[in-house]
Amino acid sequence: MTTAAQQLAKYGLNVDVAREWIAANLGSPKTVFDICKAGGLNSSMIAEILNPLAPGLSSTAVESFFTGSGLDGSALRPAPISSGEDKAELIPDDLGQLNWLISMNASVGNLSTTSLHNAVLAELGDSTSYNEMFNPDNYAGSEDGVFTGAELGVNGLGSFAATNANLESLYYGTLINTLKSLDSGEVTELYQFIKANQAGLESGSSAVEDQLVDMLFAAIQDPAYPAALSDAQVASIIVDATVATAQIVGGTDGVFENAFGNLLG
């Protein structure tokens, strides 16, 4: 799936320049519509470009804006993915079984979605790959603008709008719940495994990485009383894992699956 940055690069432009231009010309919707359409920028790309100014902006909202201005907003709708190009799975099957961990983020302070969002972007320096991680158009089930628990394979998870903001909240809420479920004995065991297998992890050994992920999933099967990690430690781990995921993966694969792979990196 082509990103806004990739499409703009064809014309020697970048996302920041496009964002400034669109924002400056929103009073002339037809001008923005015509230029974007001619340049191959669909509604999903426009939402991606404007996300820092309007967090959670969806492609549907972009199309509605132009339709409300007397234009054919559907003309900017992304082409459907062909049968040979599958969308990524948002929630991997093994995580879906741990349904009590999967929830929107209700935390405040340094674990709030806004705080974590800002901390990650401060490390990345560029929001493009980060925004693409939470682009709902990349994930199966988003086609009708709504994710359901049944589509995601998570028992008890209600339906919610397929927006960047909701995916971001679900992501952070789930990772916070996961790390808060570790007690001191489990943290020690994981640390000792990482220390003993550092060479394998650094070389990218799939066997060692798979074993580490299996250990993590076993550790989070039940709540911790008390949790071993402080809010500051949880925030630091999540920021590091998210930066690594954005740098390596972007929007090309399941955000949760890869985040868990980087969680203890």
Summarize pLDDT for 18-44 with one digit per residue, the tens: 999 999 999 999 999 999 998 889 998
One-letter amino acid identity for 173?
Answer: G
pLDDT of residue 19: 94
The pTM is what? 0.63
Contact 259, 167 (CB under 8 A): no
Contact 170, 147 (CB under 8 A): no
Summarize pLDDT for 105-138 with one digit per residue, the tens: 999 999 999 999 999 999 888 787 788 888 888 8
Summarize pLDDT for 75-105 with one digit per residue, the tens: 998 865 543 346 777 887 767 677 888 899 9
- Measure Cα distances from 215 to 134, 175, 212, 223, 263 in Å: 27, 16, 5, 15, 12
